[in-house]
Structure 1
């Protein structure tokens, strides 16, 4: 297998109505979690993946497990527990079409993960470990588990890919900054956004953000610039890439996870750094054309259509 990740995935309840959640009556549900979003994106791009997590032994847990397994992700390291429920979150939209998220994950099954959830023999089956800054924010045990997993992965010569994925609703600024910087120092490839660079280094220049991260020990940095694409830097290459075509944004949630999937798949497939980042930009753009966190994750064919500037609405979607 290729890419391993660890983290919490939840059931999302989204009201059909626009406006405050308190007035909502009808909801749709879907599955979302930053790490599994990216793993699903990788599976759609032909990369084999596995997931370490913990779910409640409840209906929401079964729903998530069935969905993730159905997307092709190996779930041999997912544990079901009777000690805590599966996490969930609510997603509302206001009149300006802005999304607001309400988490219900404190004390969830995933937040109770410990180092005992890490099986070294399982980790040894992979070549890359993809981690985000969300999982260590869930609890002290989760933070310890992340660092333990990274240590095991490095011992087994896995490359560490890190997306800071800052979530200040989950922890305070001092804890977040210290932990994210420590993980960066242990990572090979880092995928920050400008806002995360500003938080970590008090810098909004993509070049200075990349230089700060490389100074901490990472070999490759890709700084996400939203609709402007991304800046990339390593010892051999420096430059910019962006999506091949502007798209109509329907739902921006999940774009960063699609970006990560597009980049990692391109990197594993041996694309040049520029082409891998361009693929990441195209994947992230396509995610935004469909409502939902994973529903818009593209196939290689869809990315190819966008790169060739073919009208993807007519051809595929």
Structure 2
């Protein structure tokens, strides 16, 4: 296909852990702040919430502790328009927790997720009835790092050959070095990423995992099997490689408050564009527009521009995208 393969239009199912998150205010230190803000943080639920914002029917499957933080997470994701009916409540294990520590232009993240409810998720999640009508199932590389049962979930999901799957599988590498034993992530994530229909990876991630000298085209040589390979080059551009063609669209120029969550937002925007069938470059633009909304806030989930502005940005002539799509009203 000249404009690239795309999945059939339909609901999306996102599977993975979401935690409660604590963070000081934007200009405060974790050591001295008197108050911490409570929010939710999870790659897969971030994608789900942005998909819901964009009007895509979406479910999130996971497990939470039968505790106050678990109830808060479930309510927050559900309030965004995501179906949370398949989220399990575990009376014996807690909801995971993360704490953000702003340090200059970067944010350190401390995880408290050992033995969390979601860490015992396994392949039986794939039996949920919501997958029967799914067009896309979205997974990330965070899940296989959490436990052996979580890894089995992802491995089993990707074990069926693409031509035999009832739905497309989207996989975001989402490498979190702190979660992996030394020298294990590179081979596991490469194998999983190469089995998906749609794979997302940051160029910096690929360089850290596989070879510091990689360029986007080199990543495609490493991951040859995805129908679509999406290589994100920071705030510069994103390139999608199909079977025969590739497409590159530069990122919007956006003031960055905090980068956390932007990759998830991009994935949601891009998947939405694919499902709506508007063409690969339009899907890339919608990914950039959605990512910019995450970059402008301290949480993982920021408000999208209004529908009129999104349409104006999507409809810009190619030569005007870079010069005019710079965040101005």
TM-score, scaled relative to structure 2:
0.87
Q: Please state how far the C-alpha of 1:18 moved relative to its aligned partner.
A: 4.5
Q: In the superposition, relative to structure 1, how do residues 6 and 153 fare at CA in structure 2: closer, same or farther (>3 Å)?
A: farther
Q: Which moved more, 1:66-75 or 1:15-24?
A: 15-24
With 232-241 and 32-41 compared, the bigger mean Cα shift is at 232-241
Matching of residue 204 in structure 1 with residue 211 in structure 2? no
Q: For residue 99 of structure 1, give the secondary structure of its aligned residue in structure 2.
A: strand
Aligned counterpart in structure 2 of residue 74 of structure 1, from 83, 90, 101:
83
Q: Which structure 2 segments of 5+ residues have no match?
A: 1-9, 317-323
> How far apart, CA to CA, are the structure 2 residues paired with 1:90 and 1:301?
36
Tell me whether 61-70 or 193-202 shows the greater mean CA deviation: 193-202
Structure 1 position 172, deviation (Å) = 2.2
Ranges in structure 1 where 5+ consecutive residues have no aligned partner: none
Match of 2:257 in 1: 250
Query: Partners in 2 of 1:305 and 1:291 — Cα distance?
Result: 26
Give the aligned partner of residue 262 of structure 1: 269
The equivalent of 1:229 in structure 2 is 237
2:301 matched residue in structure 1: 294
Are the structure 2 counterparts of residues 240 and 39 from structure 1 closer, same or farther at C-alpha, using a change threshold of 3 Å? same
Contact 2:50 2:301 in 1 (8 A): yes
Q: 1:160 to 1:253 in 2, by over 3 A?
A: same
3-state SS of the aligned residue for 1:227? coil
Question: 1:87 offset after TM fit, Å?
Answer: 0.5
Asked if the contact 2:59/2:130 (under 8 Å) is kept, the reply is no
1:312 CA drift (Å): 5.6
Q: Report if aligned partners of 1:302, 1:312 keep a CA contact under 8 Å in 2.
A: no
Match of 1:174 in 2: 183
Return the offset for 1:22. 3.2
Q: Is contact 2:202-2:232 (8 Å) kept?
A: yes
Equivalent positions of 1:27-176 (< 5 A) are 27-94=36-103, 96-151=104-159, 155-176=164-185
